[in-house]
Structure 1
Amino acid sequence: MSWCWTPSVCAHPGMILSRAQYGQISRYLERLRPNRQGLKLLMEQFPSQSQSTLLSIFSLEYQKRMKRTHARHHTTEACETYYQRYLSGVMNNAAAPVLFELANEVDLAPSLMARIVLEKFLQEHEQAIPSKPVINGMLRDPSQIPDRVLANQVYQCTVNDSCYGPLVDCIKHAIGQEHEILLREKLQRKRLSFLDEDQLRAKGYDKTPDIILEVPIAVEGHVIHWIESKASFGDEYSHQCYLQDQFWSYWNRFGPGLVIYWCGFIEELDCHRDRGIILKDCFPEDIVTLHCTMANIDLGKDR
């Protein structure tokens, strides 16, 4: 998914899919390239699905594919082959998108191809293995690359990459921040008292959810002490990782909580409600506050 195609957070809400529905989309994605044409085909194939849901699944599945094939692309032989093909290609036509087309040919994310070739170039010209900060800095700002042809090739890769690279990382971060702002605004409209992540860190907490409610609420009969915002689709792999790395630790420290997957999630993953973690694809409107509960108790007394 090219994140610059992502719609406004309010325009296209996510959707809850069954595991079977997700599997159908996932299988179809295996035959697509991670570009605008591939995304267009995906949306034509599944017109009833939310755009934000398909965009997020598009990105998630391609990232899984890159992880599965990472070792094949990063052998010494493969890296040398890619570098030599780059040199040969720009020698024939320096203006052609050599690196980008090579990445598409071998089914590697363009930004990852740019990283491989940039590392090989720097090793050859500086006789040393470049550090990660140096590589990352040049990928973010190709004008730092001491070769104008390579700088242009790297730039073409990073701006046209759908799922990886500094531009995608920047837009992902911005979208995540946008959803966190949306969440805080909704809590404020409900006049709920809460502490956000920055306030919690200022108090000395090191690993926290996005929101801690100072007064718990109830959602669909479940007490909620904290809320985590995820500007993505909740698939099996990412959700299990989040459970292990984040959600259960939040549960241990702060009690039961709510996770909002704004781009939707697989329905069967919402199976821990009785243990204290519930999933939603939007901010719940039917919340019960302590204020409402106390008001009902007072009304009962008056009767």
Structure 2
Amino acid sequence: MSSEALQVLSRSTYSSICECLKNLPFRNRPQRLKALFPHVSLDTLKCIVAQDNQRRMKNFHAKLTTAEAIEEMYHKYLKAVNSGEEPGILLRISDATGLTPGLTTKSIIERHHQVFEKSKPARSLVSNLMRNTSLIEDRDLAFESYLCLLEDDDYGPIADARKQAVGFEFEIRLRRELEELQVSFLHEDHLRARGYDKTPDVKLEIPVAFDGHVINWIESKALFGDEESHKGYLKEQLFSYWNRFGPGLVLYWFGYVEDLEKYHQNRKILIRDKLPKNIISLHTTFAQTTICFDNCDER
């Protein structure tokens, strides 16, 4: 990723990206967007696409997975297999319906097992089959499911594992950068051990300052911060941190839309896409000031 690629987007740029998304095919959209917005980070575009997919599924999943819709998809799948179509059948069905590959696979697996069990299979069984498609006895369905789960960046066990790994990677990165800056902190495991229920990723043992602001905690988000998601985090997490610990910092590592801080209701919660390097420890500042006064007294 180029160091010059944008991650912090103006509202007009973000709106233009969202408008373009409406007219693009459901797969490979980040690469298509990169051609249209070459100045924007590809990682940022991937996050925006993921958020759009999640919201689209939230709004249309029920409509796309009615009994009639699943029956039609299953009939098309069987017909394609029986006629010897090349692999990628479920991916093509996913493209045609707008249901993500992972959710398409889940629906077809459930429908396939209904044939043998005469009822909807247990959720645990479906989850196990999606985690390990080699357990699916039907060879064609096993391979088709595997292809779909590889292609879906948002739904399914592979996508979940990837998100978890990326989130953990950036939490570790935050800790390392704070250690390099010699900033003392407690992470959420320490805080939970002390009995806190809602905890930020990092609680600073001694407040630090940068750009004229003082902060007491840092929350790491390995995603893009748009208006809807940020409002949700404010309500579910960030206001609680502010009420308990005071001013803090949210790191949206893959960027954010400008002016999100206007939703903070006069609470000091800063937003950045990287940890500032001009952090000043208040402990260090106090020590330096004390030394200065001591030297002045000696003179």
User: What is the CA distance between 1:299 and its match in structure 2?
Assistant: 5.5
User: What is the CA distance between 1:189 and its match in structure 2?
Assistant: 0.9
User: What is the CA distance between 1:11 and its match in structure 2?
Assistant: 6.9
1:228 match? 219
Structure 1's 211 and 13: CA in aligned 2 closer, same or farther, altered over 3 A? Answer: farther
TM-score (norm 2): 0.91
1:256 match? 247
> Comparing both chains, which one has the higher relative contact order based on Cα–Cα distances under 8 Å and sequence gaps of 6 or more?
1
Unaligned 5+ segments in structure 2 are none
Mapping of residues 1-303 of structure 1, within 5 Å? 15-36=7-28, 38-93=29-84, 95-271=86-262, 272=264, 274-298=266-290, 301=293, 302-303=295-296
CA contact (8 A) 1:13 1:262 kept: no
- The residue type equivalent to 1:199 in the other structure is H
Percent of aligned positions with the same letter in both sequences? 42
Rounded to whole Å, the distance in 2 between the matches of 1:99 and 1:12 is 39
Rounded to whole Å, the distance in 1 between the matches of 2:290 and 2:171 is 35
User: What is the CA distance between 1:223 and its match in structure 2?
Assistant: 2.1
Q: Look at both structures and tell me which one has the larger radius of gyration over its CA atoms.
A: 2
TM-score (norm 1): 0.90
CA contact (8 A) 1:13 1:52 kept: no
Q: Deviations over 1:140-159 (max 9, x none)?
A: 11112232221111111101
1:3 match? none
Q: How many positions carry a matched residue from both structures?
A: 294
CA contact (8 A) 1:225 1:254 kept: yes
Q: Deviations over 1:226-259 (max 9, x none)?
A: 1100011001111111111111112222222110
Rounded to whole Å, the distance in 2 between the matches of 1:124 and 1:252 is 54
Rounded to whole Å, the distance in 2 between the matches of 1:92 and 1:294 is 77
Query: Structure 1 stretch 22-31 or stretch 192-201: which is displaced more?
Result: 192-201
Unaligned 5+ segments in structure 1 are 1-6
1:4 match? none
CA contact (8 A) 1:34 1:162 kept: no
User: What is the CA distance between 1:13 and its match in structure 2?
Assistant: 7.3
Query: Structure 1 stretch 19-28 or stretch 218-227: which is displaced more?
Result: 218-227
Structure 1's 228 and 273: CA in aligned 2 closer, same or farther, altered over 3 A? Answer: farther
